Structure 1
Amino acid sequence: MPVIERLDAVRSLVDCGHGVVATLFADARVEIDRASLDDIAGFAETTATAARLVEAGTLDPGSGLGRIVLTPDFHRGAAMPVGTVAETRGFVIPRAAGSDIGCGMSLAVLDIEADEIAALGRPLEAALRHAFFEGGRNIRLDAATREAVLVEGLAGLSASARETGLFDRLGAAGLARAAARCHGGGRIAGARVGDVLSEWLRPGGRDGVTRDGFLGTVGGGNHFVEIQRVETIVDRRAAWDWGVRPGRAAVMVHSGSLGLGKAVALAHLDRALALWPAGERRPANGILPLALTAEGGGPGGDYLADMAAAANFAIVNRLAMSLMVAETLSRLVGRAIGWHLVHDLPHNLVWGQGHRALHRKGACPALYDAADPVFPDGHPVIVPGSMGTASWLLRGLGSAESLESAPHGAGRVLSRNAGRAAPEDPRPIRVVGKIDLERSRRDVAAEAARTLSEEAPRVYKDIGPVVDTVADAGIAARVARLAPLLTVKG
């Protein structure tokens, strides 16, 4: 079991063994799963793996683990715990991001009062179910636009000379404004489209255009689309600059790259296995590094290029779902509802810079750059609570101590299986799923309700201590609190 040394009210050092010491940000009220500490100790064994691969000539001399930061939502995850930020030299770890590459959060504010939405009732639920689960989306793409999306992210949409349906709502100027408010300008650089993602490029129809049934998909697990009320403003200046107004409705989206990320993850895991030195024992923690050259190339560079393409898809996917909500509301209320993107940022990604890489698993950037023309007071940080509890909008303070990283949510305290057995009502707010629970066969509705229980509020930590820790540690500052009205779950 790792040894924990508390430094102050919000910081602890975790001795993981193998000469690796992690910094844990969590005040005394934040629940820390002891099994997750064992997992981070297992992850630290990657130091020994790197040393062996240097001896074998697979990795360059000097390759190894750098600093590790654990955010307040730290909890169990495959390969390494969720809420882990890890630096590496000379290699990348594909299993760190796993299959949900580019998973992230977006937040947009709508030009409608939340109370007007709350009064819409069942017609809104039916309209959202149609849009998300019954083919109601309208996204027309050809092969060239699909490839441009993977390589250029949001900018790839405006490169098309064809009508794209849903995205035409913004036009080229609107897409450019939205991209400017995204992390990285709406694009993860260095993307390529190789064989791994070529399946999504295949056009259909007589004119080579298909109505895409993949973009605009929520996904499963803890992914969601939530309509919220801007409840409390804490930082008036930042809120005003970001277009956040009290009482307004907002749309928060949590989703990733769906099957594209899974394809990338599996392909590069196979490559890591194929490149493993013959006769060399594989590591017990299952983490197989991919070499990254000084110029950012090699097998690790190939992974980063495919990863970036999947992450660009994820950015566009979140934008699509946010716009789908705005379009649905516009039709219901009989007027065009204005849509303003506050921010979009990933929390499941690897950032490469030369032979170094920064892995964030369930941790989002919390950046600050006074010279930034869009976010001079710090980049927005989006921290959801749980289904039925409040979420927070923060602004990053660029903390070097936290590797400029913040939590991506409250963090789980119970497994999905434990959640299914929870006696709590899994629908503390209005939930729109694939089926209408009130009009479905009893056994089908019961199973759907049990699935929702996996994400019930009691399986998550209290968001309050998590945000308090982040603020007290100087990682990010509070801007606004948002209360849920309705959640769309896949």
Structure 2
Amino acid sequence: MTSSLFPLTPRLAKALARAGVTVERAGLVWRVRRGDAAAQLLLPDDFPLEIKAVQQLLDFAGVGWPDRPAPVRCACATPDFHPGSLAPVGSIVATDADVVVPAAIGTDINCGMRLITTGLTQAQLAAHEARWTGALTRRLLHAETDVPLRAGAFRALFDDGPEACLDALDAQGVWAGADRTRLLREVRDCIALQSFGGNAAHAPEAWTEGSGTVRAPDLGTVGSGNHFVEFQIVEAVLDRHVAYAAGLRVGEVVVMIHSGSRGMGFHVGQRWMDRARALWPAGHKHPQSRLYALRGAEAEGFLQAMGTAARYAWLNRVVIAEWVREALEACVGAGGSRLVVDVPHNVVTREQGLNLHRKGATPAQAGQWALLPGSMGDASYLVSGLGNADWLWSCSHGAGRAVRRQAMRREAAASQGTETWRCLALREERRWEEAPEAYKPIGPVIAAQEDAGLLRAAVRLRPWRTFKA
């Protein structure tokens, strides 16, 4: 299944003209403009230039207020660019340091990728597959979780940060078998985590009041949509120095986790989107884009609230990783797992004196590692960022969706699995919605960003077993 909107058909050209959008192309770089709003896109040959996504990006680039010039300094999009609910996925927008746009991040705050090693080969895991897949099916798909935290541990997380939370854990539930020293060490390999502030006042009161044990119902859950837990095989080393530093060898099994802040992100994100709308100057027409900016103290308040949810997203991925480690140790006797990297793609970070809004885009400062998943039938990559300022020190967060979920549900012929990969899911429609045909090919996405100087591919990972909730 393919899109019909390949650049630049006469039909698309006419639609862009009707929308007041001008387009220029130089190689793989597209520059778009509407009025004072401008942006650039990096699109491989034959990738769709979708008018809805272009309009959303220009809405994002032109955000502001009736009484103040637009605060956006630069807007761009990576090859996984496609429409989102309000802001397009695969976009990066830099605003003044006293401005934020809550709706540009939405409710899936600090959605991100986490990669851990297993120290095992495919043959070693295949010999015990029924046991560990059964254990993880109960944890990840049936939500048979046990993640007790005292309210004090939640307060420590939100007020003081990840290390304080880990220090406050009791040896109960998933924490009974957790290696605290390893978890504390792994905090340093989480990109941007230490930059997020927080305050328990932004969290649900039921989690932070008193001294009793709290069981947040969605802590340690993957979520729906494109979130996943995937066992992958190291298929090729493309940069031996990065692979050595990451401790990855050809043939080894690794586990990639894609999840976010779950209900906590919705709790924070929706409140601040509503607040930004409510603060729109009275007597002025609201923007059709429904993108509202905050400035000054309100912007700082959002960043603190966002950081609170971002810390929860980190803890959520930690718990999922611990479920994986628990299953492998119980079923295979493997206890040497290590974190390679944990990287966000749905946050605002303060860099270079700007607020960088990354909506489905990944930090890629020079030497920084990032994870770019394909589909569950295509490769994923560990890459090294090159710190390209023209693309706001960022890269894509994956291949990008090519076909909407509603359309995929109508495609009964979508791939359900092969001899080399298989999806474990409770709902058949999840396999349809997330089939490889729903996504762009990852190869051109990587190649375009290498050619443009955004990243360097280091390790290619082949999907093997994918858990989809």
TM-score, normalised to structure 2, is 0.90
Pick closer, same or farther for the CA change 1:310–1:171 going to 2, 3 Å: same
Q: Deviations over 1:347-403 (max 9, x none)?
A: 0011246984210000000112xxxxxxxxx11110000122111110111111111
Distance 1:22 1:461 in 2: 22
Q: What's the offset of the Cα at 1:38?
A: 2.6
Assess if the C-alpha contact under 8 Å between 1:153 and 1:316 holds in 2: no
Assess if the C-alpha contact under 8 Å between 1:390 and 1:482 holds in 2: yes
- 1:18 is aligned, of 35, 41, 49, to 35
Number of residue equivalences:
446
Distance 2:390 2:62 in 1: 23
Distance 2:138 2:226 in 1: 21
Distance 2:217 2:61 in 1: 41
| Alignment correspondent of 1:191 | 198
Distance 2:61 2:35 in 1: 6
Q: What's the offset of the Cα at 1:196?
A: 4.6
- 2:433 is aligned, of 434, 450, 454, to 454
Q: What's the offset of the Cα at 1:211?
A: 4.8
| Alignment correspondent of 1:372 | none
Q: What's the offset of the Cα at 1:22?
A: 1.2
Q: Deviations over 1:408-454 (max 9, x none)?
A: 01001111101111221334432222x3xxxxxxxxxxxx2123211
Note if 1:344 corresponds to 2:342.
yes
Distance 1:124 1:33 in 2: 42
1:228 aligned counterpart, secondary structure: strand
| Alignment correspondent of 2:152 | 144
Q: What's the offset of the Cα at 1:122?
A: 3.1
Pick closer, same or farther for the CA change 1:226–1:146 going to 2, 3 Å: same
Q: What is the one-letter code of the residue matched to 1:431?
A: C
Tell me, which stretches of 5 or more residues in structure 1 are unaligned?
55-61, 369-377, 436-447
TM-score, normalised to structure 1, is 0.86
| Alignment correspondent of 1:438 | none
Once structures 1 and 2 are overlaid, which stretch shifts more, 398-407 or 125-134?
Answer: 125-134
Q: What's the offset of the Cα at 1:111?
A: 1.3
Q: What's the offset of the Cα at 1:3?
A: 2.6
- 2:422 is aligned, of 413, 418, 430, to 430
| Alignment correspondent of 2:221 | 217
Q: What is the one-letter code of the residue matched to 1:100?
A: D
Pick closer, same or farther for the CA change 1:219–1:346 going to 2, 3 Å: same
Q: Mapping of 1:255-274 within 5 angstroms?
A: 255-274=259-278
- 1:243 is aligned, of 237, 241, 247, to 247
Distance 1:163 1:387 in 2: 35
Pick closer, same or farther for the CA change 1:474–1:327 going to 2, 3 Å: same
Distance 1:161 1:226 in 2: 27
Distance 1:151 1:245 in 2: 39
RMSD, aligned α-carbons = 2.1
Distance 2:417 2:194 in 1: 35
Pick closer, same or farther for the CA change 1:19–1:210 going to 2, 3 Å: closer
Assess if the C-alpha contact under 8 Å between 2:37 and 2:59 holds in 1: no
Q: What is the one-letter code of the residue matched to 1:250?
A: V
| Alignment correspondent of 1:373 | none
Q: Deviations over 1:287-316 (max 9, x none)?
A: 11111x2xxxx1111111000010111111
Pick closer, same or farther for the CA change 1:353–1:424 going to 2, 3 Å: closer
Tell me, which stretches of 5 or more residues in structure 2 are unaligned?
1-15
Identity between Structure 1 and Structure 2 (%):
34
Pick closer, same or farther for the CA change 1:210–1:92 going to 2, 3 Å: closer
Distance 1:395 1:258 in 2: 28
Q: What is the one-letter code of the residue matched to 2:330?
A: R
Q: Mapping of 1:346-425 within 5 angstroms?
A: 346-352=344-350, 356-368=354-366, 378-422=367-411, 423-425=413-415
Q: What's the offset of the Cα at 1:169?
A: 4.3
Q: What is the one-letter code of the residue matched to 1:350?
A: V
